[in-house]
Each structure stands twice: as structure tokens, then as C-alpha cells.
């Protein structure tokens, strides 16, 4: 009883602090609606250190932005919201232990998924065991995410192993001189390997098989482990293959390491695509990264941001503040931040729609109704398709030190910069 009493009082103190911070920092120019009662506590882990740390901190900044925003706009169910965040150190085993702690010991009301597919799969097992809803922002391994109360917001579709290469190679074919010789350099981690080769024990295939079926000459099909450190040997093999187009099924700092290694060999392929990079470090490469391509959910430039209106513009501005507070040199609300924000919107929409913190009711509401989101539109969740919504794959390119959307034509802010061969 004494422990429970202390916990309740700690929550009340935290509630007051959260409201005061939200009023001071939200930047909306208006007072927050009144809130009362204990805070609603949402628990999660993020990879703040380790292999995924460079990207995990982006999701930390996005989550902090959402907590500020929602508390400045009335909280949830009239109560303030508190985020209890733990560092999983990019280790799925620690993810499992920490989510068990959050649910069983810390008694959090709700949970949010971690960053990176292997960690999300680990968290899913815990969420399913305890009957918690699990919104998650970067899951791509669609076949491994079968729990009907997990709700992914990385909108690459139910078959990203087909949807992503279809989008990219369709764009490449519009060039005056499309590439013919393609090199694949693949991180054998879960999501990147899945998009390159498709699900295990299936003939469905992925980007490599898709390229072959489209008539491209796959001159290199090279795999490396997530712990790869010798990038020089990979760069040498890419140079020897002499491709027109390099597809790096990599994530985080993989493309930075590969480009630097190729630079040391005084080699640069005509075109370079990478799957899930940390965006800032690539820009820091300067001219060496000019023309690099990647997929994205959203980029806040040109008409893409303007047409979404003032709410979206305020969110982008608030995120920049949180990114600065977290020491991020790159403070743009791009694909990672978009996926993260959308996952938080999904959780909030489920609670509001269900008018309850009961996880089963929240789950049922989301499955039945889906939700509108600020940056990627309407999301619908069908358990028969593991709750993955329809694909939304935009292609962005680094042009003059900025990421710009170049595909599809209806959403691009500038044209694709073609290589001079």
C-alpha cells in the first residue's frame, strides 16, 4: 500500500510538471485545455546507443515532440501523458526484458514500439503475452508481425519486398539512359534482407529477383552482417563489378561507411540507392553523397508540407526544437520522424476512439476504424494482412545538400537528377 501511495503521488507531481512544460514549450500561442488526474503512462524502449543509436535518437526527438504536443492540447481522456523511455542498447534480448519490466513492474498503461524490426519483433512477443496494443513505427518484416494488436505505421505495404523495388525501378526506367548493370549490397539483418530477397522459404523473392525479371544484369549480389566493419573489401568488390547502379539494402550508417570506402578507392558508381539510412550523416558527406537515392514517407519541402496546413507546419517546427535539444545536427522532420509521429497518433486515436485505456478495446477500435494521420493519410488495419496498410513509397534524392522528393511525379518537388554516364 505504501509503494502504491508513493507511486500515485509521484504521478500527480509529474502530471503538474508535464502541464507546465507543455504550456511553456508548445509554441501554440494558446493555453492548454485543463487536465486532471494521474498521468497516463506510456512505456517504451529505444536504441539510444549501439548499432541503431544514430537513428534511435530521431525517434526519441519525435516522441518527445508528440508528448509536448498532446499535453498542450488536452492530453488523453482529459489526463496528462507521461512517457517512460528506456535504452535497449540495440539489443533484442534487452528489449524483451525491458518491456517485461515496463508492463509487469512499472505497471504502465500503454506501450509504444521500439526502433528497428528485430527489436519490434522482440517487443511483439511481450505485448502479445500481456494483451497490450503495440503501435510501431519502423517494422518492415511483415510476415513476422502476426499479432493482431500490433499496428505498424511504416507504410511500405504488406509486401515491401515487391513494392519498394517496383517503385524504384519504375522511376529508373524513366531516365534517358536507364541503368543496365546492377550491384546489390545487402545487410543480412531482418528488414533489409527481407526487401532484398523476400520472405524465407518462399519463391516470392525481393529486389534482387525483381531486377533480374526486369532484364537487369545483376553483376554483384553481396551480403554482409549487421556488424560489418571492413568496408574496404566490399567497396573493392563493387568497383570490380563496375555497375551502373548500386542498390544498398542497408540501414543507419551502412551507406556512409560504404561511400567513404569507395571514396578511398577513388571510385564512385553512376547511381547509388540505399534503403533505410540515417539521413543527416549522409548529407555530411557533401559532394560524395550528391545524387544518392532512398525511399521515404514524407519530406517537409515544397508543396508536400504547404498543402498539409498549419498543424503539420507547427509539428515540423516543434520537432526541430526537440532534435536540437537531443544534439541532432540534422533536424528535419523526414521519414523516420514521420513514421514515429504517426505511430503515436495511432495510439492516441485508439484511446480516444475507445474512450478507454483498456488495451483490448483500443485494439478493437483501431481494427474496426483505422485512423486519419497528419502526414500519411488514412491508415486501415486488416489482421489478415498483419495490419500493414497500403504502400506509400516516395523516392528522395540528395540534391545540392538537401533531400528532395523526386518520385512519384504527382508528389515530387523536383525532377530526378540523372547521372552523366
For 74-107, the pLDDT digits (tens) are 999 999 999 999 999 999 999 999 999 999 999 9
**Residue boundaries of the structural domains of the chain:** 2-155+309-385, 160-296+394-407
3-state secondary structure of 373: strand
pLDDT more than 70, % of the chain: 91
Q: Looking at the predicted structure, is the pLDDT value of residue 12 above 80?
A: no
In CATH terms, is domain 160-296+394-407 a member of 2.40.110.10? no
Give the per-residue pLDDT at 205.
Answer: 93
pLDDT more than 90, % of the chain: 75
The burial class, CB within 10 Å (0-12 / 13-18 / 19+), for 33 is: exposed
Give the per-residue pLDDT at 355.
Answer: 97
Of 394, 397, 392, which Cα lies nearest the Cα of 416?
A: 397
Domain 2-155+309-385: homologous superfamily in CATH: Response regulator (3.40.50.2300)
Cis peptide before 408 (omega within 30 of 0): yes
Mean pLDDT score, 338-359: 97
What residue has cell string 483498456?
358
Of 194, 201, 193, 197, which Cα lies nearest the Cα of 226?
A: 193
CA separation for the pair 324, 331 (Å, rounded): 7
For 190-213, the pLDDT digits (tens) are 889 999 999 888 888 999 999 999
For 231-258, the pLDDT digits (tens) are 999 999 999 999 999 999 998 899 999 9
Q: What rounded mean pLDDT belongs to the chain?
A: 90
Q: Looking at the predicted structure, is the pLDDT value of residue 156 above 80?
A: no
Angle at CA of residue 321, ends 279 and 51, nearest 5°:
35
Helix axes 92-100, 117-130, angle to 10 degrees: 30
Q: Looking at the predicted structure, is the pLDDT value of residue 7 above 90?
A: no
Residue 104: DSSP 8-state:
I
pTM equals 0.83
Helix axes 335-354, 359-369, angle to 10 degrees: 110
Pairing mode, strands 217-224 and 181-187:
parallel
For 352-408, the pLDDT digits (tens) are 999 999 999 999 999 999 999 999 999 999 999 999 988 888 999 999 999 999 999
Same fold, 2-155+309-385 and 160-296+394-407: yes
Compute the radius of gyration of the chain from its Cα atoms: 22
Amino acid at each position: 500500500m505504501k509503494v502504491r501511495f508513493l507511486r500515485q503521488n509521484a504521478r500527480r507531481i509529474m502530471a503538474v510538471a508535464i502541464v507546465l512544460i507543455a504550456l511553456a514549450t508548445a509554441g501554440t500561442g494558446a493555453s492548454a485545455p485543463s487536465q486532471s488526474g494521474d498521468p497516463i503512462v506510456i512505456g517504451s524502449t529505444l536504441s539510444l546507443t549501439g548499432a541503431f543509436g544514430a537513428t534511435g535518437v530521431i525517434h526519441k526527438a519525435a516522441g518527445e515532440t508528440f508528448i509536448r504536443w498532446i499535453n498542450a492540447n488536452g492530453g488523453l481522456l482529459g489526463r496528462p501523458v507521461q512517457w517512460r523511455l528506456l535504452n535497449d542498447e540495440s539489443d533484442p534480448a534487452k528489449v524483451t526484458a525491458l518491456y517485461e519490466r515496463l508492463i509487469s513492474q512499472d505497471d504502465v498503461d500503454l506501450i509504444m514500439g521500439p526502433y528497428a524490426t528485430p527489436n519490434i519483433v522482440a517487443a511483439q512477443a511481450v505485448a502479445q503475452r500481456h494483451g497490450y496494443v503495440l503501435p510501431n513505427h519502423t517494422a518492415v518484416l511483415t510476415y513476422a508481425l502476426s499479432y493482431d494488436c500490433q499496428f505498424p505505421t511504416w507504410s511500405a505495404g504488406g509486401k515491401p519486398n515487391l513494392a519498394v523495388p517496383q517503385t524504384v525501378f519504375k522511376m529508373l526506367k524513366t531516365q534517358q539512359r536507364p541503368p543496365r548493370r546492377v550491384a546489390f549490397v545487402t545487410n543480412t539483418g531482418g528488414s533489409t534482407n527481407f526487401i532484398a530477397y523476400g520472405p524465407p522459404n518462399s519463391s516470392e523473392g525481393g529486389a534482387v529477383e525483381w531486377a533480374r525479371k526486369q532484364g537487369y544484369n545483376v553483376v554483384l549480389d553481396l551480403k554482409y552482417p549487421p556488424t560489418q566493419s571492413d568496408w574496404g573489401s566490399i567497396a573493392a568488390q563493387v568497383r570490380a563489378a563496375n555497375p551502373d547502379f548500386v542498390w544498398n539494402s542497408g540501414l543507419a550508417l551502412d551507406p556512409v561507411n560504404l561511400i567513404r570506402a569507395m571514396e578511398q578507392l577513388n571510385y564512385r558508381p553512376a547511381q547509388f540507392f540505399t534503403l533505410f539510412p540515417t539521413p543527416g550523416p549522409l548529407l555530411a558527406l557533401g559532394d560524395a553523397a550528391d545524387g544518392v537515392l532512398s525511399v521515404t514517407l514524407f519530406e517537409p519541402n515544397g508543396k508536400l508540407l504547404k498543402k498539409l496546413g498549419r498543424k503539420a507546419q507547427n509539428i515540423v517546427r516543434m520537432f526541430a526544437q526537440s532534435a536540437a535539444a537531443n544534439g541532432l545536427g540534422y533536424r528535419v522532420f523526414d521519414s523516420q520522424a514521420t513514421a514515429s509521429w504517426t505511430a503515436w497518433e495511432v495510439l492516441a486515436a485508439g484511446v480516444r476512439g475507445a474512450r478507454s485505456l483498456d488495451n483490448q478495446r483500443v485494439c478493437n477500435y483501431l481494427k474496426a476504424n483505422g485512423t486519419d494521420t497528419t502526414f500519411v493519410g488514412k491508415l486501415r488495419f486488416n489482421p489478415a494482412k498483419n495490419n500493414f496498410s497500403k504502400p506509400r513509397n516516395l523516392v528522395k534524392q540528395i540534391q545540392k545538400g538537401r533531400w528532395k522528393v523526386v518520385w512519384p511525379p504527382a508528389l515530387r518537388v523536383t525532377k530526378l537528377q540523372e547521372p552523366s554516364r
